[in-house]
C-alpha cells in the first residue's frame, strides 16, 4: 500500500516553508529546497518618488498620484503566487496527496486564490495562524488533531 504524504505549508507574505509527514509517528521533516523568503520591505522603501504638487490653489487641487495598490501587498501577493505555482508543479509530480495550510490571515487569502483547483482538492485543513517563526518541533501542538505527527 502506498503511503499517504501530507505536506504542511507554513507561510506569511514574505516567507514560506513546506514540511512533510509520511504517516503517524513519523513527525514533520523539512522538504529540501522548499523554503522561501523575500526581504520584507516597507512601502516607503519600494516607492521612492514622493507625490509632487500641482500649482494653483483650486479646491480640487491634490498632491501627485498615489499608487493604486499598496506595493508591499503587491510584492507579497507575487511571492505567494510563486509558492502556489511550485506546489502545483510538485502535486503534478505526485509529491504529496494531502495539504495543510497554516498562514497569516492575508497570506491565507492570497494562497486560497493562487493555488490551482487540483491543489485545492488536496487541502485537508487550514489554520488562520502565522507559524512562520515557530520551530518545527513545536508545530506538533498546533497541528494536533489535523495530522498524526
Say if CB 124 and CB 148 are below 8 A apart. Answer: no
| More confident of the two residues 116 and 70 | 116
Q: Where are the domains of the chain?
A: 6-38+68-143
Q: Does domain 6-38+68-143 have CATH number 3.30.9.100?
A: no
Residue 77, helix vs strand vs coil: helix
- Which of the four pLDDT bands, split at 50, 70 and 90, describes residue 26? confident
H-helix segments, the chain:
43-46, 71-92, 105-114, 117-120, 140-143
Say if CB 100 and CB 147 are below 8 A apart. Answer: yes
- Report if pTM > 0.85: no
Residue written as grid cell 513519523: 26
Amino acid at each position: 500500500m502506498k503511503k499517504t504524504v501530507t505536506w504542511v505549508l507554513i507561510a506569511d507574505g514574505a516567507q514560506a516553508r513546506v514540511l512533510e509527514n509520511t504517516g503517524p509517528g513519523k513527525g514533520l521533516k523539512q522538504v529540501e529546497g522548499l523554503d522561501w523568503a523575500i526581504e520584507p520591505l516597507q512601502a516607503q522603501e519600494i516607492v521612492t518618488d514622493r507625490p509632487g504638487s500641482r500649482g494653483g490653489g483650486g479646491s480640487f487641487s491634490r498632491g501627485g498620484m498615489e499608487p493604486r495598490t499598496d506595493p508591499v501587498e503587491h510584492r507579497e501577493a507575487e511571492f505567494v503566487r510563486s509558492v502556489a505555482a511550485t506546489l502545483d508543479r510538485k502535486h503534478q509530480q505526485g509529491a504529496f496527496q494531502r495539504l495543510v495550510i497554516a498562514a497569516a490571515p492575508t497570506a491565507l487569502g492570497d494562497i486560497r486564490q493562487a493555488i490551482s483547483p487540483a491543489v485545492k482538492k488536496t487541502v485537508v485543513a487550514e489554520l488562520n495562524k502565522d507559524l512562520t517563526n515557530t520551530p518545527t518541533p513545536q508545530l506538533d501542538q498546533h497541528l494536533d488533531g489535523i495530522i498524526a505527527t
